[in-house]
Structure 1
Amino acid sequence: MSATVRSSLPPRRVVRARELAVIIPAHNEADAIAETLDALSRQTAVPRRVIVVADNCTDATGYVAAAHGADVMVTRDNTDRKAGALNQALAALGGDAPPFVLVVDADTRLDPQFIEVAMAALTADAALGAVSGVFVGERPLSVLQQFQANEYVRYGTQIRATGRVSVVTGTASMFRTAALRDVAAARGDLLPGTRGDVYDRGAITEDSELTLALKTCGWRMVAPDECVCTTELMPTWGDLHRQRVRWYKGMLDNLREYGVSRVTLRYIGQQAMILVGILTIAALLLLTALSIAAGTFALSGFWLAVGGVFILERVITVWPGGPRARLLAAAVLPEIAYDIALQAAFVHAVALALLRRDTDWNHVTAHETPLFVPSS
C-alpha cells in the first residue's frame, strides 16, 4: 500500500507581469544580487517580471542578474544615485505599468509570503498607497552587528505594538502605481522635486522623503507581520557611522524642505526627542561622574527598581531575536554605549544640516569586474 507524500512547501502561483513589476536598483551588487533573486523565486506568489537596474556598475551585477532570469536595465547618465536609477526604471514602465510595483534593495531577501501578503493588503484597501517591509538583520557575525540586529528587532516590535509605519523602508516595499503617479504629478508644486519624478533627486534618503510625499498626498501605509525582509548589517563602526549620518541628515533635510505640516509634526517631534535623549544621557553621565568624584555616589532601592524595569523592557523587546539578542540586552551597558554612538552620528548629522553640507553615500564596496553590457 503506497503512502501519499505531501509537500511541506506553501502553495505557489505566478504573479503575471500585468499585475506586478519588481524593481531592484543595484550598484556593484554582484556578491548579493543572486540571493535576492533566489528569494524572489521562492515566493508563494512568484513575480514573472523582475527588473534589475544596473546603475553605474563596474562589476558583474548585470551578468549575475541575467543568469538568474531577471531583465537587466542599465541606467543612462545617472548622477542622482538610487533615486535617479528608480526614476529611470519607473519611467521605462510608462503607461503599461502594472497596478503594483515592488522595490527591493539588491542586498535584501524577502520572506516567502511577502509578495502575496502585500498584494492582498493593497487589493483589499484602496486607501493604501504602500506596504512597507519589516526589516530584520542578517545573521550577526560580531557584537557590532548584534547591536544593529537588536535595534531592528525593536523597530519591528514597535510597529506591531503601535500599528504605525514611520518610514516606507527602502529595503523592500510595495507601492500602488496610482499613488506613485500622484506623487510624480505633485512634484514641483505640493511636493519638493521635479514634476514627473517619483523619487526626489535631491533627497539623500529617498525612502523617508517618499514616505512624506505619499502621506502629504493623502495615502496610507501599513507593514504586515508577514512582510519581513532581511538586510545587511554594517561590518565596521565607520560604516555604521556613515550610514546613520546619512539617514539622520536625510530626514532633517526632508523636514526642512517640507516645513511644518500635519504630516511632518510627528517627525519633527521624533527629532526633538532624539535631542532630549542625548541631553538626558549626557546629564546622567555627568552627574554620575561628579557624584563619584565627590564620594557621594550611592545606590538606592528606588533607582534599582527603575533599572530593573528598564532591563526587563530591553530584553522583552528583543525576545524574537533569540538568546544572543536577549543576553546582550540584559547586559545593558554595551547597548547604552551603542546608543551613544548613534547619538554621536545624529549630532554629526545636525551639524552637517546646519552647515548645508552634503554627506557621502555609504556603500560597502563589492569586487571590481567589467561593466555589464546588455545583449542587443
Structure 2
Amino acid sequence: MGLWVRTAPVADAAPARRRVTLRPRFIVAAVIVFVVLNLLVIEAYANARFVPDQRGEENGPQSQVPASVVDGGPIVSPDGSYAMPPRTVALTFDDGPDPRWTPRILDVLARFHVPATFFVVGSQVARHPDIARRIVAEGHDLGVHTFTHPDVSGLPQWRRRAEYAQTEMAIAHATGTTTRLLRLPYSSGADALDNANWELTEEASRLGFVSVFSDTDSRDWARPGVASIVRNATPAAGRGAVVLLHDAGGDRAQTVAALERLIPSLRSRGYTFTGLSGARSGLVRVAAVGSAPALADPAAVSASDWRASAVVWSIQSADRLVDLFWLVLILVGALTLLRTVFLFVFAIGHARRRRRAGWSWGPEVTEPVSVVVPAWNEREGIVGTVRSLVAGSHEVEVVVVDDASTDGTAAAVESLRLSGVRVVRVPKGGKAAALNAGIGLSRHPLVVMVDADTVVEPEAIHRLVQPFADPRIGAVAGNVKVGNRVSMIARWQHIEYVIGFNLDRRLYERFDCIPTVPGALGAFRRVAVQAAGGVTEDTLAEDTDLTIALHRAGWRVVYVDDARSWTEAPASVGQLWRQRYRWSYGTMQALWKHRGGLNDPGNPGRFGRRGLPLLALFTVVLPLLAPLVDVFAVYGLIFLDRTETLLAWAAVMLVQVITAVLAFRLDRESLRPLWALPLQQIAYRQLMYLVLVHSMVTAVSGGRLHWQKLNRHGQAAQSAPAPQVTSTRP
C-alpha cells in the first residue's frame, strides 16, 4: 500500500533493478501512526498496565535484615535507622496527587498550619503539576512513591531505577525542587522488612534515598469510618510516629474528615507536627546501618532538563490523546445510534409503503428503453450481460460502446447476432466519454446504464423504469447484488451490498438525497442527464457525480428494490482494494466538487441541505472515525478490563446483527450468509478503513489517482437466474 515500485531503465546486458520509492504522504501517515501507537503505550505504562501489582504474599524470612532495622525506627537512611522524637508526628500521604482529594487535604492542613509529607506517584505529578506546586508552595515535603505504583520487587533493577528517576524528573519539572525521600508501594513498617525488600532498601540507600516506612497505619484505605481512622492514627503513650494516610486511590472523604478531628486531638495531648525534611535534625538515631558502595543517581536533573520535560510532556500528550479518543468514541457512538434509528424508522417505512396494496408510481411505463453498456476489455462478461438485457420483458435497444478494447469485446457481442443490439466503437476516452457517446446515439428518452460485468433479471428493466411515471423523477437506482458469492471476500461484499448500499438507499430516498445511482444498474431521463451537464470526467465516481448533479438540477432520484442485477465483485484483496480506493476517492471528489450545493436555493437546495451533511457524516466522517472502536477494543483487551471490553464489543456486534437481519429481510435475502458477519467485522471492515484512510491521505496531500481496471472472469451470473434468449437476427 505505502510503496510504489518502479523499474529503472538499464542497459540490455544488465538485469532490471527494482527501486522502491516512498511517497511523502505515506511517510507522514506512517509517522502519525507510529506516534499514536507510542502515545497509547505510554498511556498504558502511566496507568501501570505493564507492571506487577501487589502479589499478596506473606513476608519472607528476615535472616539478612539487620536486627537494628527490624527493631529500629521507620526511617532508614544510608547511615542509619531513625525514629521520630517523642510527641512528634509526621503525617504522610501516599498515592497522590489527586485532583479532588489532595486539594481538600491541603485545605485542612493549611487551616491548622500543619506541615506534612506527600509521597507522590510520578505519573500523577505529570498529570497534575499545579497540585504538586501547591504542595511545595505551602511548605510541605514531597517524596518519591515510584512512577506507576508497581510492586517493585517484581521488577528488574533497570525498571526500578527508571521508576525512581522518572518520578524525580516529574517532580523537578513541576516544582523546580528535588527530593531524597522514598517510600516503596505496598510497604508497611520497617519491622516487616524481609530479605527481598531489605535488598531493595539497600539499593535505594546506595542511590542516595532515605527510605520512609510507617509505624502508625491509619488504615484509611479500607474506609473503616472516621472514628476508626482517628484511633488508628493516634500514637500510643506519647511516642513519636510516622503516620500513614492516603490522598488518592479512591474515595478519601473519611480521611479528610478524620484530619479535622485528628489534628486538634493530638495537639491537645501535646503533639507537634513536622515534615520529614524539617525533622531531619531532630530525628532519634536508633542504630547504624552498614554502608554499601553508592550508585550513580539516574535522575540528577534540574527543572529545565529536557529529560524531565520529555517525561511530563509524553504523559500529558498521551492523556490528551486518550481524552480525544474518548470524545471521538462518543461521537462515533452518537452517529452510529442516529444512523441505526434512522435506518429502522425510515427504511422500514419505505419498504412498507412500497408493498402496500394498490401503491404505484402512476400509469404503467411501457415505452421502449435504450440500454447503454460501456465496455473496455470486458470480453469475459459482456456476453452474459447482453444476453440478459435482450431476454427481459421490456422492449429495449442495447448500445454497447466499445472503448477501444484490445481483447475482442466488440467481436464477442457481434458474434451473438442479437436483434436490437448495436456495437459502437469509439476512440479510447474513458467510461464517462463512452457513456456520453452511448446516450448521444440512443434512440429513446429513457436510458438505462448497465456495467459490462453485470447480469440483469428478466423483469429488472421494466420495474426500474416505472418511477418515470412521475415527471419529477430524473433517475432511478436499481438493486445491485453480488453474483459470484463463492469466496469469503465475495460473501463479505454481498453482506455489504445489502446492508451498506441497499438499506442506505431506502433511508436516503426518504430524505430525498440518494447520493449514487449505481453504474451497474441505473435509469435516467435523457433530458435530466443533459440538464445536469452529462457524465463528466471530473471525478473517478462518475455515477455519484452525475447523481448529485441531477439533484442540484432539481430532479428527484428514487430507489427500486425489486429491480435486481447481479454484478461480479472483486475476488481478491488486491482487486477489492483498487475498486474501493477508486470509489472512496471519487466520492470525496464528488462531495468537494458539489460543496456549493449547501447554498443552492429552493427545491434543488434540498440535497445540499440534507444530502451533503448526511453523506459527509455517514460515508466519510463515521467510517474514518469508526476504526477507533476497534483500536480501543484491542487496547482494552490488552490493558483494560477484558470483561467490560468484550461486553462493549458484543453490544456493538449485536447492533450490527440486528441491522443486518433488518436489511436482509427487507431485501428478501436468505439469512444464511450472515454467519460470516463477525468475521467481516474483524477482517473486512479493517480493510475498508485502510482504503478510506488511504483515499483521504491521497486527497488531502493533493495526490492523483487514475482509473483502476479490474480483472473480470465472467462470474456475475453465478447466483442469478439464467436468462432465456430466443430472439436472434439473421
Corresponding residue for 2:392? 43
Q: Are the counterparts in 1 of residues 400 and 438 from structure 2 also a CA contact under 8 Å?
A: no
Corresponding residue for 2:615? 270
For 1:239-268, what per-residue CA distance to the aligned partner results, in whole angstroms no more than 9, with x for missing partners? 111111111111111122222424245234
Corresponding residue for 1:84? 433
Output the CA distance in 1 between the equivalents of 2:532 and 2:651.
50
Give the gaps of 5 or more residues in structure 2. 1-365, 599-604, 714-730
**Structure 2 vs 1, CA of residues 309 and 276 (structure 1 numbering), >3 Å: closer, same or farther?**
closer
AA partner of residue 464 (structure 2): A
Output the CA distance in 2 between the equivalents of 1:181 and 1:300.
54
For 1:82-136, what per-residue CA distance to the aligned partner results, in whole angstroms no more than 9, with x for missing partners? 001112222334xxx42211111111111111221233321x1001101111111
Aligned counterpart in structure 1 of residue 709 of structure 2, from 348, 363, 373: 363
**Structure 2 vs 1, CA of residues 275 and 337 (structure 1 numbering), >3 Å: closer, same or farther?**
farther
Alignment of 1:181 onto 2:530: yes
Q: Are the counterparts in 2 of residues 103 and 173 from structure 1 also a CA contact under 8 Å?
A: yes
Aligned counterpart in structure 2 of residue 211 of structure 1, from 537, 541, 547: 547
SS at match of 1:224: strand
**Structure 2 vs 1, CA of residues 355 and 321 (structure 1 numbering), >3 Å: closer, same or farther?**
same
Output the CA distance in 2 between the equivalents of 1:162 and 1:294.
40
* TM superposition shift of 1:333: 4.0
Give the gaps of 5 or more residues in structure 1. 1-14, 185-197, 368-376
Alignment of 1:73 onto 2:73: no
**Which TM-score applies when normalising by structure 1?**
0.79
Moved more, 55-64 or 111-120: 111-120
* TM superposition shift of 1:302: 6.9
SS at match of 2:562: coil
Q: Are the counterparts in 1 of residues 579 and 710 from structure 2 also a CA contact under 8 Å?
A: no
- How many equivalent pairs are there? 328
Counterparts in 2 of 1:106-255, with a 5 A limit?
106-122=452-468, 124-154=469-499, 155-160=501-506, 163-164=509-510, 165-184=514-533, 198-255=534-591
Output the CA distance in 2 between the equivalents of 1:277 and 1:119.
33
Corresponding residue for 2:376? 27
SS at match of 2:480: strand
Moved more, 163-172 or 284-293: 284-293
**Which TM-score applies when normalising by structure 2?**
0.42
SS at match of 1:106: coil
Output the CA distance in 2 between the equivalents of 1:295 and 1:343.
24
Aligned counterpart in structure 1 of residue 405 of structure 2, from 50, 57, 69: 57
Q: Are the counterparts in 2 of residues 242 and 362 from structure 1 also a CA contact under 8 Å?
A: yes
SS at match of 1:345: helix
Counterparts in 2 of 1:344-363, with a 5 A limit?
344-363=690-709
Output the CA distance in 1 between the equivalents of 2:540 and 2:458.
30
Output the CA distance in 2 between the equivalents of 1:162 and 1:287.
31
Corresponding residue for 2:115? none
Output the CA distance in 1 between the equivalents of 2:458 and 2:473.
22
For 1:23-54, what per-residue CA distance to the aligned partner results, in whole angstroms no more than 9, with x for missing partners? 1100011111111111112211131x211100
**Structure 2 vs 1, CA of residues 351 and 61 (structure 1 numbering), >3 Å: closer, same or farther?**
same
Q: Are the counterparts in 1 of residues 575 and 711 from structure 2 also a CA contact under 8 Å?
A: no
SS at match of 2:431: helix
Output the CA distance in 2 between the equivalents of 1:20 and 1:26.
19
Alignment of 1:322 onto 2:322: no
Output the CA distance in 2 between the equivalents of 1:201 and 1:222.
24
SS at match of 2:548: helix
Q: CA RMSD in A?
A: 2.5
Q: Are the counterparts in 1 of residues 392 and 461 from structure 2 also a CA contact under 8 Å?
A: yes
* TM superposition shift of 1:316: 4.0
**Structure 2 vs 1, CA of residues 205 and 297 (structure 1 numbering), >3 Å: closer, same or farther?**
same
| Sequence identity percentage | 26
* TM superposition shift of 1:227: 1.1
Alignment of 1:279 onto 2:625: yes
Output the CA distance in 2 between the equivalents of 1:255 and 1:158.
17
SS at match of 1:175: strand
Output the CA distance in 2 between the equivalents of 1:82 and 1:301.
46
* TM superposition shift of 1:225: 2.1
Moved more, 19-28 or 358-367: 358-367
AA partner of residue 410 (structure 2): G
Corresponding residue for 2:659? 313
**More relative contact order in 1 or in 2 (CA 8 Å, sep 6+)?**
1
AA partner of residue 340 (structure 1): Q
